[in-house]
Amino acid sequence: MKYYLIAGEASGDLHGANLMKALKKQDNDTQFRFFGGDLMQEQGGTLVKHYKDMAFMGFVEVLLNLSTVLKNISFCKQDVFSYKPDVLILIDFPGFNLKIADFAKKNNIKVFYYISPKVWAWNQKRVLKIKKVVDRMFCIFPFEVDFYKKWGMDVDYVGNPLLDAIHDFKENPDFRASHQLEGKKIVALLPGSRKQELNYLLPTMISVVDQFPKYQFVIAGAPNFSKDDYETYMQGRNLPVVFGETYDLLSNSEAAIVTSGTATLETALFKIPEVVVYKGNPISIGIAKLLVKIGFISLVNLIVNREIVKELIQEDCNTQKLGEELSKILSGTGREQMLADYEELMEKMGKPGASEKTAQLMIKYLS
């Protein structure tokens, strides 16, 4: 079958790649064309556009890059129409993907949505649009099933694909030696994969380094950046930057400072104590605060519905508070409590197998 997938950021690239791998096991004649990244490209098929050319987050940022966004949408519509896939598989990235879903539906192309847009967080009436333009929704959080049911929509809960990725991960025993990281315990810095996240967050992350001389801080580099991009923010320090080995970095770390997003959940699943941070354009954050209907920004806290990891947002994301929170999770009762709370998270997350289950269901619905 011909599959057209659209992922617009690093996490979508990961989940898209795992889904493609699972589809290949169950469909001997897979043909892939996609918007995505390096991981999806490794699974074969044709990469049409890389997510690094698409990832704009925040109301102001989207407006400033509106011309590029509109060109990408127009190009994608034309490409989907020309390819005529058996199914269009959308992966999160709702601002872009729901527009493509609408177009596909009008052109009689079947639409599957893998990893629900966070409609439960804000503008819940978008569910009405989803019901019209999406044929099947595959959700990765258990609370999403009840949410959609309230809106009269039947969805499939498939489990969380991060469990698949972490389950399949094989640690590199030479990781520390290959990056000259032997000796001090490691604090991982995960600043995200968007330029604006580096701008707003990396300087604050790096500003606490001098408070912890017994630890070495290591940056998880995103594939769309170079070492030079990170050195711009290092304030004269020479911090190691590790590309393409974030899971190895986490598995060798004592703690982490993580930008809000999928990485917060990945870090918790590795049972690494973390501080979650987020900072952005003040106007975008102000609008978000008016619209968002949830009490937390990190997936860890959302899943257990209480604060397990500390969230430092906007003004609270500063050197003093970040240093205080990091100190709490490096040793003592704060660290012990977070590790104990992670067990509750693991129980709610369930077992691996989301990618395989999703692929099975997709092929079932297509046939």
User: Where does 2-160+351-366 sit in CATH, by number?
Assistant: 3.40.50.2000
Give 105-147 pLDDT, tens digit per residue.
999 999 999 999 888 877 788 899 999 999 999 999 888 998 9
Which tokens in the block code for residue 122? Answer: 């804000």
Domain 175-349 architecture? 3-Layer(aba) Sandwich (3.40)
Sequential DSSP letters for 13-72: HHHHHHHHHHHHHH-TT-EEEEEE-HHHHHT-SEEEEEGGGT---SHHHHHHTHHHHHHH
Q: In the predicted model, what is the mean pLDDT of residues 358-365?
A: 98
Sequential DSSP letters for 345-359: HHHHH--S-HHHHHH
- CATH 3.40.50.2000 residue ranges for the chain: 2-160+351-366, 175-349
* Residue 221, pLDDT score: 97
What pTM was computed for the model? 0.77
pLDDT band at 294 (very low <50, low <70, confident <90, very high): low
Question: With 70 as the cut, is the pLDDT of residue 288 above it?
Answer: no
Which tokens in the block code for residue 6? Answer: 């659209």
* Residue 190, pLDDT score: 98
Q: Which residue has the tokens 């490691």?
A: 186
